[in-house]
Amino acid sequence: MQDGKVIVGYIGNGKSANRYHAPYVLDRSDKFRIKTMQARHVDHSAWAAIPGVEYVTDTEAILGDPQIDVVEITTPSALHYSMAKRALEAGKHVTVDKPFSATYEEAAELFDLAAKNGVTVQCYQNRRFDSDYLTARKVVESGKLGKVFEVVTSYDYWRPTMMDGMANDPVNNAPYGHASHCLDQIISWFGTPDRVHSDLRQLQGAGMVCDYFDYDLYYDELGVKATAHANYRMAIQRPSFEICGDKGAYVKFEKDQQERDLKHFYLPAGHPDFGLDAPEQWGTLRYQDEDGLHEERVPSERSSYSQWYDALFHTVANGAPQLVTPEETLAQMRILEDGMGQLA
């Protein structure tokens, strides 16, 4: 660390690094400094250079730099495991963009290597700080729904040609690309499930990419079934969250708005309204108590993916436990890998 700041280097300089990671690190400039970004070709035609950052083509310029505390892996998915392993072997703390790896075995190896070298590695599960997710949890905690027995989260898109012609692949598919977020939200909320039922489909036919998923996670002691589903051919998107209890229900249609703002280059630093829901985007809660049936709109929780970096700072600087635990990631990897094993 330098001047009380965690020094960060990136392996990968594409959309992931520049849209979903760097803006939030820059929003925490009191805690972090981005020193170096690596890519096979340094080209700023798609993403402008960040002032004060050195751009390199040699990965060793990051791995061999003693000043860099944390290496963030934002390469194409197939390289996540190999790049994370190299960074851990270099003695760096590591953040890996989703998906964490292709298999449970690879993930377990990375966690073992981190422990051996006295550093940490975790998956960048920024969507633990989605406003829709945090609002759903707050509604449940309020007790107004009574005993909750069903939670459903959807991650639909109308992108009917996005994956056309793509063959089945271990990591470049809907489950590893987006179920990795949904499953993490459920696991971080309720823990490792007792049972899982997976329904994965290749809407283009056998041998083609998986572009549909439906996971049911069962928590027997809680009496809860949590469902995460999505497909990329959904012209009318389903609610982001639906929660049912024995006293009522909560439904919110639109997802967190941070991605909307990021796509328009409206960034978190300096914009207090970044990612903010409009009142018409709030969820609806209907519940019954001793006074009868009530309905109300629930203001969305304010949140920011910068909070993920707050947690990372406390882990690296102060030795706090990492936000995304190995056990949570391993549980998710088991579900993803087992589900993909069903496909042709």
DSSP symbols for 82-148: HHHHHHHHTT-EEEEPSS--SSHHHHHHHHHHHHHHT--EEE--GGGG-HHHHHHHHHHHHTTT-SE
Q: 23 vs 162, which has greater pLDDT?
A: 23
Cα 308 to Cα 124: distance, rounded to the nearest angstrom: 8
pTM: 0.95
The whole-number average pLDDT for the span 32-45 is 93
Q: What pLDDT, on the 0 to 100 scale, is given for residue 109?
A: 98
Q: Report DSSP state, residue 344.
A: -
Q: Which helix (H) or strand (E) holds 327?
A: helix 326-340
Listed residue (177, 151, 105) closest to 338, CA to CA = 105
Q: Which helix (H) or strand (E) holds 9?
A: strand 6-11
Tell me the pLDDT tens digit for each residue of 204-255. Answer: 999 999 999 999 999 999 999 999 999 888 999 899 999 999 999 999 999 9
Return phi, psi of residue 172, to 5°: -95, 80
Place of tokens 């939030």: 24
Find the Cα–Cα–Cα–Cα dihedral 250, 253, 257, 262, rounded to 10°. 150
How many Cα atoms are found within 13 Å in the side-chain-facing hemisphere of 151? Answer: 24
Decide if 210 contacts 173 (C-beta within 8 A).
yes
Q: What pLDDT, on the 0 to 100 scale, is given for residue 280?
A: 96
| Domain boundary assignment for the chain | 6-124, 128-303+335-340
Listed residue (98, 121, 73) closest to 325, CA to CA = 121
SS3 of residue 315 by DSSP: helix
Identify the burial level of 23 via C-beta atoms within 10 angstroms of its C-beta, where 0-12 means exposed, 13-18 middle and 19 or more buried: buried
Q: What pLDDT, on the 0 to 100 scale, is given for residue 306?
A: 97
Look up the CATH superfamily of 128-303+335-340.
Answer: Dihydrodipicolinate Reductase; domain 2 (3.30.360.10)
The whole-number average pLDDT for the span 311-317 is 98
Decide if 317 contacts 1 (C-beta within 8 A).
yes
Cα 175 to Cα 164: distance, rounded to the nearest angstrom: 16
Find the Cα–Cα–Cα–Cα dihedral 143, 144, 147, 152, rounded to 10°. -100
Tell me the pLDDT tens digit for each residue of 160-205. Answer: 888 888 899 989 999 999 999 999 999 999 999 999 999 999 999 9
Cα 75 to Cα 10: distance, rounded to the nearest angstrom: 9
Residues 6+ apart with CB under 8 A from 137: 189
Q: What pLDDT, on the 0 to 100 scale, is given for residue 25?
A: 97
Q: What pLDDT, on the 0 to 100 scale, is given for residue 113?
A: 98
6-124 is a CATH 1.20.1050.10 domain? no
Q: Which two tokens stand for residue 186?
A: 């459920």
Query: Given 3-state DSSP classes, what are the helix, strand and coil percentages for the chain, each rounded to the nearest 5?
Result: 35, 25, 40
The long-range contacts involving 311-314, CB below 8 angstroms and separated by at least 24 positions, are 312/6, 312/70, 312/95, 313/6, 313/28, 313/31, 313/32
Residues 6+ apart with CB under 8 A from 105: none
pLDDT over 90, % of the chain: 89
Q: What pLDDT, on the 0 to 100 scale, is given for residue 342?
A: 86
Averaged pLDDT of the chain: 96
Q: What pLDDT, on the 0 to 100 scale, is given for residue 164?
A: 87
Listed residue (202, 203, 245) closest to 222, CA to CA = 245
